[in-house]
Structure formats: C-alpha cells, structure tokens
C-alpha cells in the first residue's frame, strides 16, 4: 500500500462539531411508553425504523432492524414502507435516500454527522483523482453522497476486500477515506497498488495497541476482535504476523462480522475493539459469553444524538427529511449499486 501523504499527519478535527452526549434519566416505564409510541407512529406512518449497532440500547430495542451500514442499506432497498427513519448518521440516511428515491427518509437529529465522512470533500477527491489518472476510486460508505458521486465503487467494512478484489490487479486503487481500513484491505487482497487517503474516525482512532495488550495480559485466552477502522490495526496486524499477538485469535471484523464470528467461535471471552453500542447486541445474543471493550471511552457522540424523543418527534412531524440532489444521487447510485451487487 502506498499513500501520497504517508509522511504527513493530517488532522481533520476542525471540520466538525462534536455534539455533547446527553445522559438520559428516563425510568424503565418511561422508556417502555416512548417505545410504544414509536411503534404506534411507525404503524400510522407506514414507517420502518432502521438502527445502527452504535445506537443507544433503547433505540436498538424498538427498531425494525439493527445492523451495520451494509445490511441497513440492503434492508432499505427492500422495504415497502413509505417512510424510513434512520437511527444512524447522515451518510446512512443519504444512502437510503439515494437507494429509495420514492420514500421519505428521516434523520431524527441533523447533528448526527461522522468525523470520517467529514475527512474528505468532493473537491479534495477531484484533486486526488487528477494526481492519480486512471486509478479506480473505492469510497467507504462513510462518505457524503457528493463524494460517492465522484467514486467508481462504494464499500463497507464488511465487503471492502471483496469490492477491491473485484478490480483488475493491474489497476491502481484510490481507497478513501479511512487509512486504517485501507491497510487491512491491502493486507487481505495482497495488493501493493492501493493508495490510501489519510482520513480516520475519531472514535476508532483512539483504540490503541497498548489497550489490546493490556486486555490480553489480563485474559490470556481472550479472542481479539478489532474493527478495521481502529487506530491499532496496522500495528496489531504486524504483531499478529510476528507472533507478538496470537495470530489464531486476532480478527479484523466489521460489526456484523463480529456478531457472526462470536456465534461460531468456541471462545467465551472476547476483546471488542469498536464503538461501545455493539455491546448491547452482543450481550443480548450471547449472554453466556463475556465481552471486554478495548477502549471503554469509544463512544460516538454523533450516533448518540438519536434518542427516543427525537425519533418520536421525527415520526410526528415527518422531519428532518434527508434529500440528495438528483444529479448527485444519480452518479452516487452507480457506486452504491456496485457495492450492493458485491455484498
């Protein structure tokens, strides 16, 4: 893998405003009543509520589907509901709006952005394309619709290697915006012609090798499940290769991949390197197994803006609606369709 900026550390923090994570004090009874209201409104509006794994537990509990970006996109593509409420972040709602142009797509809080998506603009991508004529552009789903419109393929962490593997081996691939996922894909596809854009997710970047090592020393038989966006992936991959980390117990997986892997693994203890919201589904599905977050502070403030109150208000008012300009949607859809074909 190569990177045109490999010696330059770029900071993207100035590009977004992190919302404050509200601590809610609803009682169990209040939560139950709000969830009932959500279900009643969904029925009234012929709406479907789609929730990402990083959402608050009470929102996950009331959703029609809880999944990663890829599966949520597939669910959006198949639904016959009139309204899609996205309990996720802005690029996910945009993707649903592009796939389902005849539906009303709601994002209950427009502050739900994404630091990773903010790290590349369409203007920057056009500059990179001009520097790398002939390169095939693969954009992670965590990008704006305008960036997808400039891309040849879209992918998620669940199918990135498959998408890149489908590109002829002699073509240079410009992979963006996540530099850590790019390094995992380069390793998985054994390609040396992947140029990585230097973006990152501010949450996953804080998941570091020393935290992984600490868990391993406290729990010697633990399996290490690391999201490919994590700041530790390059180092952990190298350590797994040289035997510093147990190669047979170190896995780089999407959130859906983690859920699947745990179900198939005989192990009982897992270090989970991703946003903490996933622990809700893990604990629910595999109550007999034990999960330890690699970084207990890995919380996405953008995801946590979505509350039951905001979902209710959104269903009542049918706002805020996410729309994508037609020309951008048409171009972005090519890249998204290719991703869905290779899912």
**Nearest distance, CB of residue 204 and ligand SF4, angstroms:** 6
Site string for ligand SF4, 125-164 (x = CB under 6 A): -----------------x----------------------
- CA gap 120, 242 in Å, rounded: 34
Binding span for ligand SF4 by CB under 6 A among 74-82, 119-127, 197-205, 309-317: 197-205
**Nearest distance, CB of residue 240 and ligand SF4, angstroms:** 23
Of 63, 203, 207, 332, the residue at the interface with ligand SF4 (CB under 6 A) is: 203
| Contact partners, residue 63, CB within 8 Å, separation at least 6 | 49, 50, 51, 55, 87
278 binds ligand SF4 (CB under 6 A): no
Cβ atoms of 270 and 292 closer than 8 Å: yes
With tokens 């199918």, the residue in question is 159
**Nearest distance, CB of residue 299 and ligand SF4, angstroms:** 9
Distance of alpha carbon 133 from the chain centroid: 29
Cis bond before residue 261 (omega within 30° of 0): no
Neighbours of 320 (CB within 10 A): 16
With tokens 């900071």, the residue in question is 11
Binders in 76-115 for ligand SF4, by CB under 6 A: 89, 114-115
3-class secondary structure, 304: helix
Residue closer to ligand SF4 by CB (options 79, 274) is 274
116 binds ligand SF4 (CB under 6 A): yes
Site residue total, ligand SF4 (CB under 6 A): 14
Site string for ligand SF4, 31-60 (x = CB under 6 A): -----------------------x------
| Contact partners, residue 217, CB within 8 Å, separation at least 6 | none
Binding span for ligand SF4 by CB under 6 A among 187-195, 239-247, 298-306, 335-343: 298-306
Q: If you write DSSP's letter for every residue of 184-216 in order, what string do you get? A: HHHHHHT-S-EEEP-B--TTGGG--HHHHHHHH
- CA gap 240, 53 in Å, rounded: 27
306 binds ligand SF4 (CB under 6 A): no
Residue closer to ligand SF4 by CB (options 34, 204) is 204
Neighbours of 139 (CB within 10 A): 30
Cβ atoms of 297 and 69 closer than 8 Å: no
276 binds ligand SF4 (CB under 6 A): no
**Nearest distance, CB of residue 300 and ligand SF4, angstroms:** 3
Cβ atoms of 179 and 198 closer than 8 Å: yes
Span between the terminal Cα atoms of the chain, in Å: 24
Residue closer to ligand SF4 by CB (options 54, 270) is 54
324 binds ligand SF4 (CB under 6 A): no
Token readout for 226 is: 């690391």
**Nearest distance, CB of residue 268 and ligand SF4, angstroms:** 27
300 binds ligand SF4 (CB under 6 A): yes
184 binds ligand SF4 (CB under 6 A): no
258 binds ligand SF4 (CB under 6 A): no
Establish how many alpha carbons lie within 13 A of residue 59's alpha carbon, considering only the half-sphere containing its beta carbon.
28
Binding span for ligand SF4 by CB under 6 A among 35-43, 148-156, 165-173, 296-304: 296-304
Residues that bind ligand SF4 (CB under 6 A): 54, 89, 114-116, 142, 201-204, 275, 300, 302-303
């Amino acid at each position: 893998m190569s990177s045109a900026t490999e010696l330059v550390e770029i900071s993207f923090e100035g590009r977004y405003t992190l919302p404050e994570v509200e601590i809610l004090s609803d009682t169990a009874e209040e939560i139950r009543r709000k969830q009932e209201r959500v279900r009643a409104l969904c029925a009234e509006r012929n709406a479907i509520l789609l929730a990402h794994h990083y959402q608050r537990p009470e929102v996950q509990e009331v959703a029609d589907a809880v999944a990663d970006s890829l599966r949520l996109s597939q669910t959006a593509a198949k639904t016959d509901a009139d309204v899609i409420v996205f309990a996720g972040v802005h690029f996910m709602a945009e993707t649903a709006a592009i796939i389902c142009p005849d539906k009303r797509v709601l994002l209950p809080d427009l502050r739900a952005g994404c630091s990773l998506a903010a790290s590349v603009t369409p203007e920057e991508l056009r500059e990179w394309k001009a520097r790398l004529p002939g390169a095939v552009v693969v954009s992670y789903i965590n990008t704006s619709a305008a960036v997808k419109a400039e891309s040849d393929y879209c992918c998620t962490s669940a199918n990135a290697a498959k998408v890149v593997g489908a590109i002829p081996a002699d073509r240079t691939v410009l992979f963006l915006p996540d530099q850590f996922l790019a390094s995992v894909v380069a390793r998985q596809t054994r390609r040396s012609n992947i140029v990585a854009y230097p973006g990152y997710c501010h949450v996953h970047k804080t998941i570091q090798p020393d935290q992984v090592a600490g868990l391993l020393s406290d729990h010697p038989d633990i399996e290490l499940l690391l999201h490919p966006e994590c700041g530790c992936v390059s180092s952990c991959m190298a350590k797994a290769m040289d035997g510093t980390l147990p190669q047979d117990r170190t896995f780089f997986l999407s959130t859906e991949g983690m859920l699947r892997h745990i179900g198939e693994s005989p192990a009982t203890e897992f270090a989970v390197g991703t946003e903490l919201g996933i622990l809700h589904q893990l604990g629910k599905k595999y109550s007999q197994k034990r999960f330890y977050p690699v970084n207990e502070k890995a919380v996405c403030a953008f995801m946590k803006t979505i509350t039951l109150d905001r979902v209710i208000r959104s269903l009542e008012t049918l706002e805020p609606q996410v729309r994508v300009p037609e020309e951008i949607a048409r171009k972005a859809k090519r890249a998204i369709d290719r991703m869905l074909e290779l899912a």
